[in-house]
Amino acid sequence: MNKLIFEFIEANKLDILEEWIKTTKETADDRVVRVVSDQVFTSTSREFIDLIIANIKGLKEDYNTRLTDFAEKVVRLGWPLTFVTKGLHTFSTIVFHRMEESGIITKDNQLDIILEFDGWVTPITNEIVSIYSITWEKTVSLQKIALQELSAPLIPVFDKITVMPLVGTIDTERAKQIMENLLRGAVKHRSEVVLIDITGVPVVDTMVAHHIIQAADAVRLIGAKCMLCGIRPEIAQTIVSLGIDLNQFTTKNSLQKGIEAALELTNRKIVKVEGSK
């Protein structure tokens, strides 16, 4: 039975490929056609069909690596998963119809052939879906790590003065890291003043404010002073409307002002040196 299908596909490979490309292009969503050039589309399609055929032939040895390669390639091209699974479906439909037309499929063996078809289409689909999801999971976890790395750095700028610039959205996870890094860093650098710069934080809502207040309280407990800077005018207004009490904080509108104030607190100032040139 398997041999029957396989021989038929082998014999009509080019026709099937042509029809497949035609149908797929007609039904595919614009997204796919737009991002991929004709040439790439045709060659990838050929690869796809070859892969399916290789699977039917039962060339198991390098089949898995080829499938992985293919799936990775498709992911790189940005083809949606539905497109690939639909393509697989289209392929089997075409083959089935053609076999029906040429009289290979009769009423008697119809069910057997359908089962046989299903038997090789389903594993390919499963495999592709699983490779897809693995690739995505990998991307997501890598991005998470990357995000963590730029999450909450603490920078010692002067003796006893450290700055933590915050950029981007603060969620619960980051808030936790901010607190940890802030405390560990403040102790390690023997900071007396810690500046939290929120210039890059797009929205300061009650949760963000709450986390910052908690962090500042904790910093105070370890004997340092916390200063909030980089408060943009619109953020200042929303904080007032929300009714958040930041009275315990020294706040400054820019990091520069903050550093000047921090130097003052530690009895220092920046002076211009004359006659150096």
Partner 1 sequence: MSIQSCVTIINEWDIVAARQLGRNVAKELGFGTVDQARITTAISELARNIYLYAGKGQICIDKLYEDGKAGLRINAADNGPGISDIRQVMEDGFSTSGGLGAGLPGVKRLMDQFEIESSPGNGTQIKATKWLR
Number of residues interacting with partner 1: please give it, by CB under 8 A: 21
Residue from 144, 210, 220, 268 that binds partner 1 (CB under 8 A)? 210
Residue carrying structure tokens 């002067």: 158
Is the CB of 110 or the CB of 169 nearer to partner 1? 169
Per DSSP, the three-state class of 267 is coil
Least Cβ distance, residue 205 to partner 1 (angstroms) = 4
Is the CB of residue 195 less than 8 Å from the CB of residue 163? yes
Angle between helices 38-57 and 2-11 (to 10 degrees): 150
Q: Is 140 in the site for partner 1 (CB under 8 A)?
A: no
Q: What DSSP character marks residue 254?
A: S
Is the CB of 106 or the CB of 172 nearer to partner 1? 172
Is the CB of 154 or the CB of 231 nearer to partner 1? 231
Least Cβ distance, residue 98 to partner 1 (angstroms) = 43
Q: Is 202 in the site for partner 1 (CB under 8 A)?
A: yes
Near partner 1 in 156-175, by CB under 8 A: 169, 171-172
Instruction: Measure the CA–CA gap between 183 and 196, rounded to whole angstroms.
Output: 12
Instruction: Measure the CA–CA gap between 119 and 263, rounded to whole angstroms.
Output: 74
Q: Is 205 in the site for partner 1 (CB under 8 A)?
A: yes
Instruction: Measure the CA–CA gap between 111 and 113, rounded to whole angstroms.
Output: 5
Least Cβ distance, residue 181 to partner 1 (angstroms) = 20
- Strand runs (DSSP E) across the chain, as ranges? 155-158, 161-167, 193-200, 225-229, 250-252
Residues forming the site for partner 1 (CB under 8 A): 169, 171-172, 202-207, 209-210, 213, 233-235, 237-238, 241-244
